[in-house]
Amino acid sequence: MSTDSVGFGVIGLGMGAGRAKLVHATEGARLVAVADIDAERGQKAASEYGINWYDDYKKMLERDDIDVVMVMTPSGTHADFAEVVAQSGKHVISTKPIDVNLESADRMIKACSDAGVVLAVDFESRYMDDNVRAAEAIHAGRLGKLVLGEVRLKWYRGDEYYEGWHGTWKYDGGGSLINQTVHQIDQLVWYMGQPKTVWGQIGVFTHDIETEDLGMAMIKFESGAVGTILGTTTFPSSLPPRVEVHGDKGATVVAGHKVEVWDIPDESAEDSYENLGPKNVVEDMVQVLKNGGTPRVDGHEAKRSLALILGIYESAKNGGAPVELG
């Protein structure tokens, strides 16, 4: 690794186009190359950033000036790409979710561990200041004994959104829960701790897809607290997603990643928080590679939201019967 900057490559220029821009804008990171089978996308990025584009990502992995590769491909392919990246000796950042089943997630984690490379999963909500403030207050016990955590995501997605791999079990792993609401579900697990039991229901209401455009769940956590999840792409417009948590001493509501309610006695959301850590997954990886430690969401942490979502799907398949997550 270069002593002054960390070299990045990006596979997949759908979501990866935004991540290439993020790398380019992040101090300590250097965008070296991108890979995509779409020539128009690849040439556009190459021209915009003055870098190389590859239509074969394995050729990109042969470069010794790339330290980290971002896997920004359809969800059901993450482990397949990450395995090859790890075996080439590059560190891995995967977009969310880690993959679409636990076996693939474990395969990705093992590949990175065996290769001695760092694996980070890009849950951008984990880096937003108000989300971090809420997490620190909850974990410090300032809300008291946790009672209830709620997640609500009500978004619009038109039929054109589902014309490709979205809404398929094989490549998307599900629908509105695993693709859109996964960020807030990850927040819920981050805030509330390990889920113990889940009851779920899913359905297709306004789209022609295999999976779900509306999902709901009730959760019991190991702490004894309870939770609810609602995630849909059937709403006529897209509202700010909400994560609400309360205990017996206080409450916090984060809407659109901004604190809306901070009901903690004698405290404001800005109290006692000076260093909230890295602002995005690229900055996180740069700091880990230069200073040591682990990324905010590693493979094992990323599995927790996936396991909960898969539990919802299993429960829904079985008529809403409870699923034990342990």
Q: What is the pLDDT of residues 78-112, one digit of tens each?
A: 999 999 999 999 999 999 999 999 999 999 999 99
Q: In this predicted structure, what is the pLDDT of residue 325?
A: 96
How many alpha carbons lie under 13 Å from residue 317 in its C-beta half-sphere? 9
The architecture of the domain spanning 128-274+305-324 is 2-Layer Sandwich (3.30)
Percentages of the chain per state (helix, strand, coil), in multiples of 5: 35, 25, 40
The domain locations on the chain are 6-125+279-298, 128-274+305-324
Helix residue spans in the chain (DSSP H)? 16-25, 39-49, 57-60, 78-87, 102-115, 129-139, 182-192, 281-291, 299-317
Q: Are 103 and 111 in contact (CB under 8 A)?
A: no
Name the pLDDT band for 267 (thresholds 50, 70, 90): confident
Q: Give Cβ neighbours of residue 212 (< 8 Å, ≥ 6 apart).
A: 174, 175, 176, 177, 202, 203, 204, 316
Q: In this predicted structure, what is the pLDDT of residue 265?
A: 85
Determine which of 13-17, 53-57, 286-290 has the lowest per-residue pLDDT on average: 13-17
Q: In this predicted structure, what is the pLDDT of residue 198?
A: 98
Residue 3 has pLDDT above 80, yes or no: no
Q: What's the DSSP call for residue 263?
A: E
Query: What's the alpha-carbon Rg for the chain, to the nearest Å?
Result: 20
- pLDDT > 90 in the chain, percent: 94
Length of the chain: 326
Residue 235 has pLDDT above 90, yes or no: yes
Q: Tell me how crowded residue 152 is: count the other CB atoms within 10 A of its CB.
A: 18
- Given the structure tokens 């693939």, which residue do they identify? 104
Of the options 3.10.20.30, 3.40.50.720, 3.40.640.10, 1.10.10.10, the CATH number for the domain spanning 6-125+279-298: 3.40.50.720
Please say whether the dihedral angle defined by the alpha carbons of residues 326, 126, 79 and 14, taken in this order, is positive or negative: positive
Q: Which value, to the nearest 10 degrees, does the dihedral of the CA atoms of residues 277, 280, 283, 289 take?
A: 90
Mean pLDDT to the nearest integer, 214-236: 98
